[in-house]
Amino acid sequence: MISLRHKLALGFGGLLAIIAVIGMLTITQIDQLGNAIDVILKQNYRSVTASQEMKEALDRMDSDILFSFAGRHEPGSGNMGNSEHKFRQALKVELGNITLPGEKEKADRIALLFDDYATSVHRVIDDSIPLPKRRTTYFTTIHPQLTEMKTLAQQILDMNQANMNEANHAARMMAESARNRMLVAIVACAAIALLFSFQLRRWILRPIGRLIVSANEIRNGNLDLALETGGNDEIGQLSAAFSEMTSTLRQVRKNENDKLQRTRRATQEVMNILPTPIAIFDPDGRVDVATQSAIRHFGLKPGTEAASLDYPWLPELLHRAATEGRAIENEGNGFIQKFIDNREFFFKPAAIPIPHDQNTIRANGTVLLLYDMTQVHEQKELKRGVVSTVSHQLRTPLTSLRMAIHLLFEQRIGALNGKQAELLHTACEDSDRLAEILDDLLDLNRIESGRARLNMQPQHPERLVSICIEPFMNEAKEKEIHLIIDTPPGLPEVIADTESIKHVFANLLSNAIRFSRRGGTITVKAEAELSGIRFSVEDTGEGIAPEHLKRLFDQFYRVPGQDEKSGIGLGLSIVKEIVSTHGGTVGVESTREKGSVFHFTLPV
């Protein structure tokens, strides 16, 4: 049996032979056409151009003669010499390009006539000779010579143009002949190609079609398919290889299924003993595997869709983890509250994507972890209760103590000496500072517990900034600090509680004034952003080291090196809580020895 290689060689070999014949014929015809065109362009065209140039030079020389008769000839003018030079150059080209019978005689005659003509011309344009005599010489000698030379040049031009037309006609005939031969060769090539295409369909396309159908069946999971080999050529060998491949795939699938079942059972057994609620979701958002605690307390049974559960946060959390390719925790401090065995529990959900492999972030599923935050929540509530209780318990005796200090300081009970007055003044400042600390603790506790009542109203940013900075104008003036307000008109209104935002600005401005040098500048800005209106307080103080910036808004955190009068580190944490309650964000940028910028956003 003929192999596929020989079949292809037979078909393509015939086509290659025809292509070679057509190529040789084409090259031969192109060479012939090139020679014909060379005759037209290189030889006859030169003579035509030279004849035309000779006629033009003669016309210019004749014009110069006539101008001299009219008195417009300038002595020493180079026009006549240039025309004579161009004529002789053109005549030289023509004498060196004789290609037609009779052309040489005419060119020689022109050369002979021009020598006499040139001599006569120089005499005629001589102003020293009387004009009547020059005119007589022109009409009796020069003009007949001019007419004869132009006639001979025109005859040479006509001869070469006629020869060019004949060569062009010959080239056209050769091109038509070549086209006819090429057409015959193309028809023959097309016939052989059709014959080969018919055989190709029977030799190659039909067996390949059967292989495609078999490959689609294998792709659809039909590994029990028996392939028909149909011959011993390469396609038959390929069909046999396909049969062996399907047999191997059947065995591999069986092994993989066994391995998958073992892994699935082992995973389920491990998941059953884990106390933390964990669920593994497939890419379509269905529960694949889950721990018993996740099934029992959250209804995350295998096969359950995330969208069908009564957890609005769950589909969004899984989607973000899968698209961003990183672990995503539920935003904010909101915990999932569950009552289990008559006890209140709090869980914080987090989603972790399962990548396809190490080289891609595309998720092949998502793991949902529900961290038990009950102890953390209880500790936070306990801390709030302790802070609230201690603050309230200290407030009453502190009020009495401050009252006693003020009575003594006003000397209503008796006169004080200088030392006693100094001690009472210090005690008064410390008691006021302690009262401020208690107020901050109570405010923070009230905001964190959600008991702070906010009167949210639309506010113009320009008016809000003006109200908030007015109490600090005198303090800045006393310290010789320039207070600049940059609030462009036309900003959209923000939703805010005026008293709370005044507390925010009070904290930021008091810090800016405290840490700014005398003669410095504080700039208060309001500008529009995508997330809302951004308010900022920028100072020209000493700045804050980078290692402290991340913890500035933590409770009770103070930058090392500050004096005791700067507070206990609650001001900025209260600012953060107030802004968060409004739905905004806070931030800070600082550069040592250049100043700091504290900013926060409020929604429009």
Residue 484 lies in a domain: yes
Query: Do 461 and 434 share a structural domain?
Result: no
The pLDDT value given to residue 99: 82
Question: CA 153, CA 90: separation in Å to the nearest integer?
Answer: 11
- Number of CB atoms found within 10 A of residue 333's CB: 11
The pLDDT value given to residue 296: 81
Query: Do 428 and 318 share a structural domain?
Result: no
Sign of CA pseudo-dihedral 433, 434, 440, 443: negative
Query: Do 159 and 101 share a structural domain?
Result: yes
User: Greatest CA separation found in the chain?
Assistant: 154
Examine the pLDDT at 291 and tell me if it is beyond 60. yes
Per-residue pLDDT, averaged over 319-326, amounts to 81
CATH of the domain at 302: 3.30.450.20
Query: Do 500 and 579 share a structural domain?
Result: yes
Question: CA 343, CA 329: separation in Å to the nearest integer?
Answer: 24
Residue 252 lies in a domain: no
Q: Which range, 115-119, 210-214, 461-465, is most confident?
A: 461-465
596 membership: H or E segment, kind and range: strand 595-602
Cβ-based burial of 260 (10 A; exposed 0-12, middle 13-18, buried ≥19): exposed
C-alpha separations of 582 from 504, 534, 601 in Å: 12, 13, 9
Query: Do 308 and 363 share a structural domain?
Result: yes
The pLDDT value given to residue 163: 84
Query: Do 303 and 169 share a structural domain?
Result: no
Per-residue pLDDT, averaged over 16-26, amounts to 73
Examine the pLDDT at 48 and tell me if it is beyond 70. yes
Q: Which of 366, 354, 345, 329 is nearest to 276 (CA)?
A: 345
Of 568 and 51, the one with more pLDDT: 51
Q: Are strands 287-290 and 278-281 parallel, antiparallel or unpaired?
A: antiparallel
pTM of the model: 0.41
Q: pLDDT tens across 212-238, in order?
A: 777 777 777 676 666 665 666 666 667
CATH of the domain at 441: 1.10.287.130
Helix, strand and coil in the chain, % to nearest 5: 60, 15, 25
Examine the pLDDT at 141 and tell me if it is beyond 90. no
Q: Which of 30, 19, 27, 10 is nearest to 188 (CA)?
A: 19
Question: CA 403, CA 270: separation in Å to the nearest integer?
Answer: 67
The pLDDT value given to residue 602: 92
Query: Do 590 and 519 share a structural domain?
Result: yes
Query: Do 163 and 24 share a structural domain?
Result: yes
* Residue range(s) defining the domain that contains residue 163: 13-196
Examine the pLDDT at 538 and tell me if it is beyond 90. yes
Question: CA 580, CA 574: separation in Å to the nearest integer?
Answer: 10
C-alpha separations of 69 from 75, 128, 144 in Å: 13, 12, 18
Question: CA 102, CA 156: separation in Å to the nearest integer?
Answer: 9
Of 54 and 400, the one with more pLDDT: 54
Could you give the number of structural domains in the chain?
4
Per-residue pLDDT, averaged over 56-63, amounts to 87
CATH of the domain at 74: 1.20.120.1730
Contact 462, 491 (CB under 8 A): yes
Examine the pLDDT at 562 and tell me if it is beyond 90. no
Question: CA 458, CA 575: separation in Å to the nearest integer?
Answer: 20
Mean pLDDT of the chain: 78
Query: Do 361 and 479 share a structural domain?
Result: no
Examine the pLDDT at 37 and tell me if it is beyond 70. no
The pLDDT value given to residue 75: 45
Residue 360 lies in a domain: yes
Residues 267-279 as b or e (16 or more Cβ within 10 Å = b): eeeebeeeeebbb
Residues 164-196 as b or e (16 or more Cβ within 10 Å = b): beebeeebeeeeeebeebeeebeeebeeeeeeb
Torsion (CA) 257, 259, 262, 265 in degrees, nearest 10: -60
Examine the pLDDT at 6 and tell me if it is beyond 70. no
Residue 49 lies in a domain: yes
The pLDDT value given to residue 449: 57
Per-residue pLDDT, averaged over 397-409, amounts to 70
Residue 179 lies in a domain: yes
Which pair of tokens denotes residue 310?
């009564």
Question: Of 448, 479, 497, which marks where a domain is finished?
Answer: 448
Of 207 and 443, the one with more pLDDT: 207
Per-residue pLDDT, averaged over 138-163, amounts to 87
Chain centroid to Cα 380, Å, comes to 47
Confidence of residue 85 (pLDDT cuts 50, 70, 90): confident
Examine the pLDDT at 334 and tell me if it is beyond 70. no
Examine the pLDDT at 384 and tell me if it is beyond 60. no
Q: Which of 88, 125, 122 is nearest to 107 (CA)?
A: 88
Q: Is the backbone of residue 124 left (phi > 0), alpha (psi -120 to 50) or beta?
A: alpha
Question: CA 270, CA 289: separation in Å to the nearest integer?
Answer: 11
SS (H, E, C) 498-531: HHHHHHHHHHHHHHHHHHCCCCCEEEEEEEEECC
Residue 266 lies in a domain: no
Residue 240 lies in a domain: no
Examine the pLDDT at 191 and tell me if it is beyond 50. yes
Examine the pLDDT at 438 and tell me if it is beyond 70. no
Examine the pLDDT at 76 and tell me if it is beyond 50. no
The pLDDT value given to residue 362: 63
Tell me which residue has tokens 């901050």.
440
Q: Which range is least confidently modeled, 263-272, 365-374, 488-497? A: 263-272
Contact 349, 314 (CB under 8 A): yes
Query: Do 316 and 422 share a structural domain?
Result: no
Query: Do 363 and 401 share a structural domain?
Result: no
Q: pLDDT tens across 414-428, in order?
A: 777 777 777 777 777
**Coil/strand/helix, residue 452:** coil
Q: Which of 497, 514, 480 is nearest to 580 (CA)?
A: 497
Q: pLDDT tens across 591-600, in order?
A: 888 899 999 9
Examine the pLDDT at 239 and tell me if it is beyond 80. no
Question: CA 104, CA 4: separation in Å to the nearest integer?
Answer: 69
Question: CA 500, CA 494: separation in Å to the nearest integer?
Answer: 13
Task: For 53-93, give the DSSP string.
Answer: HHHHHHHHHHHHHHHHHTT-PPTT-SHHHHHHHHHHHHHHH
Residue 327 lies in a domain: yes
Question: CA 262, CA 237: separation in Å to the nearest integer?
Answer: 38
- Number of CB atoms found within 10 A of residue 381's CB: 13
Question: CA 276, CA 402: separation in Å to the nearest integer?
Answer: 53
The pLDDT value given to residue 588: 92
Chain centroid to Cα 467, Å, comes to 45
- Number of CB atoms found within 10 A of residue 35's CB: 13
Per-residue pLDDT, averaged over 364-371, amounts to 82
CATH of the domain at 508: 3.30.565.10
Contact 225, 217 (CB under 8 A): yes
What's the chain's Rg over C-alpha atoms?
Answer: 53
Q: Are strands 521-529 and 482-486 parallel, antiparallel or unpaired?
A: parallel
Examine the pLDDT at 386 and tell me if it is beyond 60. no
Question: CA 549, CA 572: separation in Å to the nearest integer?
Answer: 12
Per-residue pLDDT, averaged over 570-579, amounts to 83
Examine the pLDDT at 524 and tell me if it is beyond 90. yes
Examine the pLDDT at 317 and tell me if it is beyond 90. no
Running DSSP on this structure, what letter comes out for residue 586?
E
Question: Of 448, 480, 502, which marks where a domain is finished?
Answer: 448
Query: Do 579 and 554 share a structural domain?
Result: yes
Question: Of 448, 473, 506, which marks where a domain is finished?
Answer: 448
Q: Which of 80, 67, 69 is nearest to 135 (CA)?
A: 69
**Cβ-Cβ contacts under 8 Å for 324 (sequence gap 6 or more):** 353
Which pair of tokens denotes residue 46?
């030169």
Per-residue pLDDT, averaged over 582-587, amounts to 88
**Cβ-Cβ contacts under 8 Å for 284 (sequence gap 6 or more):** 305
Confidence of residue 8 (pLDDT cuts 50, 70, 90): low
